[in-house]
Chains A and B, each alone.
Chain A
Amino acid sequence: MTVDELEKEQAPKPAGMGVVGWLRWSWRTLTAMKTALILLFLFALASVPGSLVPQRSVDPDQVARLFQNDPALAEWYDRFQLFDVFTSSWFAAIYLLLFTSLIGCVLPRTATYVRELRRRPPAAPRNLSRLPHHAALDEPLTVDEAARRLRKLRFRVEVGDGWVAAEKGYLRETGNLLFHASLLGLLVAVGIGSLYGYRGNVLVVEGDGFANTVAAYDRFIPGSQVSAESLEPFSFTLKDFQASYQVQGERRGQALDYAALLSVQDSPAAATRDYTLKVNEPLEIDGTQTYLIGNGYAPVFRVTDGKGQVAFEGPVPCLVEQKTTMMSGCVVKAPDAQPSQLGFLLRFLPMSNGSVSLFPGALNPQVQLLGAFSGDLGLRSGEPRSVYELAPPELMRKLTPLIMGTGQAPLSPGQAVTLPQGAGKLEFTGVKEWMTLQVAYDPGRMAALVAAATAVVSIVLSLLVRRRRVWVRVKDGTAEAGGLTRTEGSAAGFAEEFADIVKVLSAGGKDAR
C-alpha cells in the first residue's frame, strides 16, 4: 500500500461540501483499493449464475426447454437477465465500475511513476546499520569505485559526499501499470469484436454448398454494427465428409479424426480450390474463420404418395441420439404428398445388428421406421418449424397413425416400406453425412491477443521483479553497505541478492560481475 492509497482509504466523508465535494468523495471512494476489491469479488460472483443457468448465447435449446417445462421460473430468470448474464445490464454495471475504478487507479499512479522515473535515488540514510540489510565491506573502497561496481550491476546510481545511492527494479511498476492497462485494452478489444463481428451456424450435407450470406445461415448472431452486405463473399461445396473411428480395444468407436473435403471459392470471381477442413484447423478467408464443430448422418429417402408421385426425395439430417454409436433420430416430412401429407419418424443405425447400432461408422447402415403418419403437419402456417420435429404436440395428436412401433424389420439401402391403405411408399436409398459449421468474424481478435500477451508479460514483471535500494557509505577508509527492498514478501530473496552485491562491492574489480 502506498501513501497515496492510504490517503484514499481515509478520504473524509463529505460534510456539507456541496456537489463538487460529493463528486470528489465518490471518485475517491470508487478508486479506493477496498472498492476495487469489492468490485472484483462482485465480478467473480456475478459470473456464477452464468454457469448455473443455461445461457442463450451458449445453449439456446436448453433455454427454450426451460421456458416449456417451467414457464414461471423462466419468466423470473428472464426478468433478471439470467439467460444472458454476460450481456446483462447488471453485469455491465459491475465491470464498468471496476474499469472506471481501474482507470482512476492507474492514471494517478502513472503520473507518480513518471515523476519517479526522473528522480534520482534518494540520499543515503545517516546510519546504514539501521537498515534491514547491512554489511561492513572488507576492503576500503572509494565512492567512485562503489558507484562503478553498482552501475555494472545495472543499478541506477547517485553519488554524494561520502555516499552512493543505487536503486533498481523500476520494471515492477512498469509491469503493474501495463498489466492494468492491458486489461482495459482487452475490454476494448472484446467490445469491438461484439459490435463489429458476427457468428453464424449452418448445417451442410455432402454434395451441398454454402455461400456466406445472412440468409444461408441456420442461426446468425450479428453485432449491432454489422450489415448484411459486409459479409465476406466466399462459398464452398462439401464434397466429402470423412470420419474415422477406433476399431479395436476398450475405446472402440471413439472418433479419431474428422475431415471435410471442401471445394472453396474465396470470392465469386475466384477460382475454386480444395481445402480439407478439420477440427482445430479452421478455414480462414480474409479474417473470417469457418470451423468444423459437429457431424452426423443424413440418410437419403424417397417418398412416393398415394397417387404414385414422388412427394419428397433427398437427404434428411438426423439428430445424433447416442454419440458412441451415432444412433440418430430422423424426421421425414412430405408436405406435398397427395391426397394427404405424410410424415415419418425414423431411427438411423450406422452399423446395425437388426435392432441397435454397434459402431459409429456406416458399415451396415439401416433405418428403423418408428412411425408413419398422415394428416396436416402444419407446415403451411408460415411459422418456423424445427426440422427435427414432425409436428408440434397439438397437431401430432390429430395425425392419423399408419404404422406405429418397432415391429417393422429395419430397412437397408434400396429397400422400401409400403404404407397401408394405399397411402404411399417410403424408400431408403442411400447414406450421406452432414457437418455443422460455425462461421465467425471478429475484428477484435488480434487486439485481444496483443492485450492478453501484454498482460502475461507485464504481470510477470509486476510480480517477480523486486524494487530495491542499496547505499554505500565511505568514511575514514572504511566502507559499509545497506539495503532495502520496497517489495513486500521478497525480503528473503533479497537477503541472498544483497549478499551477492556485498561480495561484488568487496571483491574488487576482478570478480565483479
Chain B
Amino acid sequence: MPAEQQLAEVSDLFVVAAVLLYLFSMIGFALELAFGHSRADAVAAKRPVAVGGGSSDASSDVMEPASVVKAVEPPGWAPKAGWAGMVLGWVGWVANLGAIVTRGLAVDRWPWGNMYEFVVAICCAAVGAFLATQLRQNVRYLGAFVMVTATLGLGFSVKVLYTAAGPVVPALNSYWVAIHVTAAILSSGLFILAGVTGILYLIRGGGVSRLPARADLERVAHRAIVFAFPVWTFAVIAGALWADKAWGRYWGWDPKEIWAFITWVAYAAYLHARVTAGWRGRAATVVQLIAFGCLLFNLVGVNIFFSGLHSYADVSG
C-alpha cells in the first residue's frame, strides 16, 4: 500500500505543478501577444514554402494573417516571452501527463475512473492538441487562451472534483474504459481547442487586431473539428458497445447518452453548415460554439443535474 500511496501523492504534486506551469506559460504567451508585433514575420518564415508564386484565388492557401507589420519596433523581449510560454507549456504538459501516469500506477487501472481524473486527462488532451498543432503550423497566438482554459480546468478539478486515489466500482472495471473514455478524452481535447478558437473568432471582431485574421481562426477550428468528429463518433459507438455489455442494451437514452447524441448532431450540423452557402464564418462559428456548449454540458452539467447510469460521475467521491 505505501508505494501506491506515495505514487498517488506524487500524482497530486504533478497536478499542482502543471497548474502553475500552465499559469506561467499563459503569462508568457499573453506578454508576447500584448507587446509583440513581429509574429507575422515569424509565421512567414515557418510556413511551408509555397511552390511557385502564382496564387490568385489562393485565399485559402496562405497561412498567416494579412496583418500589417507595424512600423513600431516591438520590445526585444516579447518573442522571448512567447518562447518561454511555449517551453513552460511543454513542461507543464509533461507534468500533466506525469500526473496521469503516476495516478494510473497508484491505482493500478486506467486513470480515468471518476470526474477528477477525467477532467485532468481532458486538460492534458486539450493542451496536447494545441502543442501538436503548433508543431505543424504557428498557432502561438492561441497559447494564452488554451493555457487559461487548462489552468482553470485543472484548478476546478483539484478544488471541486478531487477524489482520492482508489479502486472503481465494478461497472467501471472493464477494458472498455480504455477504449471509450480514451476516445472521449481525445476528442474533447480537440473540441476544446476548436471552442477556444471559436470564442477568439467572436471576440476578435472584423478590424485590425493582434490576433490573426478570422479566416485563419476559422480554419484552425475547422481542422480540429474535422479530426475530433470521427473520434467522437467512435467514442459514442464504443460507449454503445460497452452499454451493450454492461447494461443490457446498446442505447437506452440515459441522460449522458442523450447529450452525447445532441453533441454529435450539433457538430454534424456545424460540418453541414460549412458546406451550405451563407453559413460560413460567424454563423458557422456560432453553430460550433453551440455544439461546444453541448459538449461541456455533457461533461459537467449532466453529471451534476441528472442521475443516470454513468457511475463515474461521483463528484463528491
Contacts and interface: CB of A to CB of B under 8 A. Distances in A.
Q: Do A and B bind each other?
A: yes
B268 A40 contact: yes
Contacts of B317: 250
Given A43-B265, A254-B169, A86 B253 contact: yes
A44 B261 CA distance: 8
A134 interface: yes
A463 B262 contact: no
A254 B233 contact: no
Contacts of B76: none
A36 interface: yes
B166 A250 contact: yes
Contacts of A507: none
Interface string B42-56: 000000111111111
B171 interface: yes
Contact of B233 (A199, A440, A455, A498): A455
Contacts of B244: 445
B90 interface: no
Interface string B38-69: 00000000001111111111101101000000
Contact of B266 (A44, A132, A278, A496): A44
Contacts, number: 183
Interface in A480-513: 488-489, 491-492, 495-496, 498-499, 502
A124 interface: no
Interface string A261-304: 00000000000000000111110000001010100000000000
Given A58-B252, A130-B56, A439-B248, A499 B230 contact: no
A38 to B, nearest CB: 9
Contacts of B279: 37
B266 A280 contact: no
Contacts of B48: 492, 495-496, 499
B278 to A, nearest CB: 9
A43 B200 CA distance: 28
Interface stretch (A47-55, A64-72, A394-402): A47-55
A449 interface: yes
B175 to A, nearest CB: 9
B248 A438 contact: yes
Interface residues of B, number: 70
Contacts of B271: 463
Interface in A441-471: 442, 445, 448-449, 452-453, 455-456, 459-460, 463-464
Interface in B133-187: 137, 164, 166-167, 169-171, 173-174, 176
A138 interface: no
Contact of B269 (A41, A50, A135): A41
A232 interface: no
A34 interface: yes
Q: Which of B1, B51, B223, B245 has the most CB of A within 10 A?
A: B51
Given A135-B52, A492-B63, A58 B276 contact: no
A47 B294 CA distance: 12
A133 B54 CA distance: 7
Contacts of A132: 55-58, 61
Interface in B270-284: 271-277, 279
A281 B176 CA distance: 12
A83 to B, nearest CB: 12
Contact of A133 (B51, B262, B274): B51
A491 B58 contact: yes
B315 to A, nearest CB: 15
A37 B276 contact: yes
B312 interface: no
Contact of B174 (A9, A129, A280): A280
A36 B272 contact: yes
Interface in A413-458: 438-440, 442, 445, 448-449, 452-453, 455-456
Contacts of A37: 269, 272-273, 276, 279
B248 A463 contact: no
Contact of A489 (B54, B137, B226, B233): B226
Given A47-B262, A460-B230, A495 B61 contact: yes
A410 B176 CA distance: 44
Contact of A130 (B54, B173, B302): B54
Interface stretch (B13-21, B123-131, B188-196, B234-242): B234-242
A462 B264 CA distance: 16
A251 interface: yes
A344 interface: no
Nearest to B256: A51
Interface in A104-135: 129-135
A6 B278 CA distance: 11
B60 A491 contact: yes
A405 interface: no
Contacts of B258: 47-48, 50-51
Contacts of A456: 230, 233-234, 237
Contacts of A445: 244, 250
Contacts of B49: 499
B251 interface: yes
Interface string A77-117: 00000000110000000000000000000000000000000
Contact of B250 (A40, A281, A448): A448
Given A279-B246, A448-B250, A1 B167 contact: no
A278 B170 CA distance: 9
Given A37-B273, A279-B170, A459-B230, A489 B219 contact: yes
Contact of A246 (B167, B246, B266): B167
Interface of B: 1, 48-58, 60-61, 63, 137, 164, 166-167, 169-171, 173-174, 176, 219, 222-223, 226-227, 229-230, 233-234, 237, 240-242, 244-255, 258-259, 261-262, 265-266, 268-269, 271-277, 279, 294, 302, 306, 317
12 contacts: A51-B255, A58-B252, A58-B253, A130-B56, A131-B54, A132-B57, A135-B52, A251-B167, A256-B167, A438-B249, A463-B230, A489-B60
Given A6-B277, A47-B261, 20 more contacts: A44-B262, A86-B253, A132-B55, A134-B53, A190-B251, A256-B170, A278-B170, A282-B245, A291-B247, A442-B250, A445-B250, A448-B250, A453-B237, A455-B233, A456-B233, A463-B230, A464-B226, A489-B222, A489-B274, A495-B50
